[in-house]
Amino acid sequence: MERNDRFKRLEYWLKARIGKIAFIDIEEKRNKQWYGNGYGGFYVDPTVIPQNAIVYSFGIGEDISFDKDIIAKHNCQVFGFDPTPKSILWVNNNPVPEQFHFHPYGIGEKTGKVIFNLPKNKEHVSGSVYGHNLVDETNPVEVLLKEFKEIASEKEHTHIDVLKMDIEGSEYAVMEGILNSGVTIKQILVETHERFFNDGKEKGKRFFKLLKDKGYKIFAISDTYQEISLIK
């Protein structure tokens, strides 16, 4: 992990500890195991992931350590999605497992092209449809996003075993569509980005209430309070 990334994650952890985003807690104790590296990983409950599981991975960047881990341990099929030009280039130029199926578009509230802000630091990869202090709003690109229901329909999936999401603040906008899609999802792993918004804490509270109302319970939280794992 880059030195700057370590400092950023420490900063986020400290903010969580003073109450900025640490308003959630474990709701159900379950078996948990960290998949992926320290930067791109998440906790999962491996006991409910069958062989040949279906996994959706939204937000790839230049790190498929999570995807490689879950493929190696469960021989599953991972469908990866990322509209970021740098991510698309990275996937095209690097070897990936046979079970990793990449798609050069992202998830949105509805299907269509949107303006996407690239990171200010050219060494970084994560962009966002939202403006915040890590992106350059004067350097946008146009990318394709698709509604979740349409993505699952195209793949003919009515059940997903694990849905992993790191989409730089868009999680708050797309989750309701995911939960109302009719597709059953066993585990949802999400990196949250309350820090991007002035009303981030309120967004976060509404977000987790929505998940709870749909029967999901938090079973794992990373040390940074960013990577949250839920199960139904």
pLDDT the model gives residue 196: 76
pLDDT the model gives residue 211: 97
Strands of 100-103's sheet, edge to edge? 100-103, 77-81, 54-58, 159-165, 184-191, 227-231, 217-221
pLDDT the model gives residue 3: 46
pLDDT the model gives residue 124: 54
pLDDT per residue of the chain (232 residues) written in tens, 0 to 9:
444 555 555 555 555 444 455 678 999 999 999 999 988 899 999 999 998 999 999 999 999 999 999 999 999 999 999 998 888 999 999 999 999 999 999 999 999 998 877 665 555 556 566 655 555 566 787 889 999 999 999 999 999 999 999 988 889 999 999 999 999 999 999 998 887 777 888 888 999 999 999 999 999 999 888 899 999 9
Bridge partners (DSSP) listed for residue 145: 106, 112
Q: Which two tokens stand for residue 77?
A: 């099929």
* pTM to 2 decimal places: 0.86
pLDDT the model gives residue 140: 80
pLDDT the model gives residue 53: 97
The answer to whether the CB of 99 falls within 8 A of the CB of 77 is: yes
Strand pairing report for 217-221 and 227-231: antiparallel
pLDDT the model gives residue 108: 93
Count Cα atoms within 13 angstroms, Cβ side, for 63: 17
pLDDT the model gives residue 137: 63
